[in-house]
Amino acid sequence: MAFIIDDIILGVMGHNQAKADNARAKKNQEDLEEFNEKVAEKTNEHNDKLDAADVANYEAMREYSHETSLQNWQRGGEIQDYQYLGRLKEYEKSIDISRDQLALNVTSAGQAIQSEETSVDDMFLQQQFQRESSLAALKGVYTEGNLNRREQGVAMLGIQSKQRLGTASINNTIDQLMKEGSFDKTNAMVKGLIAEGQAAMGQAGKSKAKRQQSASAALHRGLMALETELTGKRKQAGIELAQLSAETSLAKTGVGLNLERIENSIATAEADVEYNNRVMTANMKSFISQSERNIKDIQLQKQVADLNVRESTMIKPERLSYDPVPQLPPEREFVERMEAIPGFVPQAAQQNVWAPLIKGVGNAVSSAMSLGVIKPYN
């Protein structure tokens, strides 16, 4: 019986609880609807303020942006003018530098060409001094040759004088020998004749004849000895004369060789001077040709340097036009925010208040039937 009562009580409690839950759900629905209405009202008020603030901010920002754009435009024009003036100054400075560089190129090329001309002048002066030195040396050779010729002429005169004197001395000796021989021969003949006369004056007989023969033989022997002596002396004189002639010939040959040597020295000196002149003339032509090539190179280098200067010269800047004056942008079209409406609140879910009671009664009946308190209907 207690179980039956408990099921009924539980059913009643469930019924009451369902009624309370339904009432609370209804109250929550009403509160939420009221809250949504307040939220929608506040949202609309706030949106109205936002719309007004957006319009005000837009107008203020539009005006501020326009003024700022004008200021930036003016400042940009000032900067553009400043930059243009700066580029003009750079251009003028570049022109001055280029002009100075071109002038320096002209000066440098002129100095280089003048240096080449000076080198040619120095070479010419050097060769003039060399030619003068060569001519002076040749003149010295001429002078020395003339002195040597005169010296050899004096030597030749001495040789000729010695030859003449020697020949005259030898001839004089031969003449003296001839005279002495003739005198001695005469003296011998006189002595022989005297001896023969003395022998003839002696007593006649064989002794006289022998004495005469002996005196005659002595005379002949003396004459023969004298003739032999004179012949030997003449031969000696002839040998001396031949020796003098040979020595004189050799001396004259030496003088001729010396004169030929002098002439060869002079000819060699003249050939050397002529050769040196040809060499110096060729060197001068070569030096002048090299100087002309150097001058052409200098002129070419100047042209290249001038071209580099002109290529590196700054191009004259051009003035750009100013940017367009800033304009106010088109006005913005504002769209008011959509009006907020209270959010949809679904109807509160309601519980069946009789279901727990019916369930409790059903459970009680089931328990009673199981206990036999209530019998089933047949």
Rounded to a whole number of angstroms, the CA Rg of the chain reads: 83
pLDDT band at 143 (very low <50, low <70, confident <90, very high): confident
Residue 264 predicted with pLDDT over 60 = yes
> With bands split at pLDDT 50, 70 and 90, how would you rate the model's confidence at 366?
low
* Residues belonging to the chain: 378
Residue 347 pLDDT exceeds 60: yes
CA distances from 295 to 102, 133, 191, 236 (A): 18, 31, 113, 86
* Residue 336 contacts residue 91 (beta carbons within 8 Å): no
- 205 pLDDT band (50/70/90 cuts)? very low
The span from the CA of 123 to the CA of 110, in Å, is 20
Please say if the pLDDT value at position 227 is more than 80. Answer: no
Nearest alpha-carbon partner for 216 in 235, 234, 194, 201 = 194
Q: Is residue 30 predicted with pLDDT exceeding 70?
A: yes
According to the model, what pLDDT value does residue 258 have? 78
* 297 pLDDT tier (thresholds 50, 70, 90): very high
Give the relative orientation of helices 206-312 and 2-200 as an angle to the nearest 10 degrees.
Answer: 160
pLDDT of 251 strictly over 50: yes
d(CA 147, CA 222) in angstroms, rounded, equals 59
Residue 230 is predicted with a pLDDT of: 53
State the pLDDT at residue 203. 44
**Residue 149 predicted with pLDDT over 50:** yes
Assess whether pLDDT exceeds 80 at residue 368: no
From residue 269, give the alpha-carbon distance in Å to each of 112, 144, 252, 272, 279: 40, 12, 25, 5, 15
pLDDT in tens, 208-222: 455 555 555 555 555
Q: Which of 134, 218, 229, 137 is nearest to 181 (CA)?
A: 229
Q: In this predicted structure, what is the pLDDT of residue 263? A: 85
pLDDT given for residue 141 in this prediction = 81
Token reading at 87: 């580029």
Mean pLDDT in residue range 173-185: 57
pLDDT at 19 over 70: yes
Helix (H) or strand (E) holding 290: helix 206-312
Instruction: Say yes or no to pLDDT of 268 above 60.
Output: yes
pTM here is 0.47
Q: What percent of the chain has pLDDT over 90?
A: 7
The per-residue DSSP string of 147-176 comes to HHHHHHHHHHHHHHHHHHHHHHHHHHHHHH
- Kindly report, residue by residue over 68-104, the tens digit of the pLDDT: 989 999 998 889 889 889 999 988 998 999 899 989 9
Helix (H, G, I), strand (E, B) or coil at 200: helix
Query: What does each C-alpha distance from 183 to 194, 203, 215 come to in angstroms?
Result: 16, 32, 19
What are the tens digits of pLDDT across the range 119-139? 888 888 888 888 888 888 888
Q: 314 or 174, which is more confident? A: 314
Instruction: Return the beta strands (E) in the chain as ranges.
Output: none
What letter does residue 315 receive in the DSSP assignment?
P
Question: Which single residue is written with the structure tokens 């080198």?
Answer: 119
DSSP 372: T
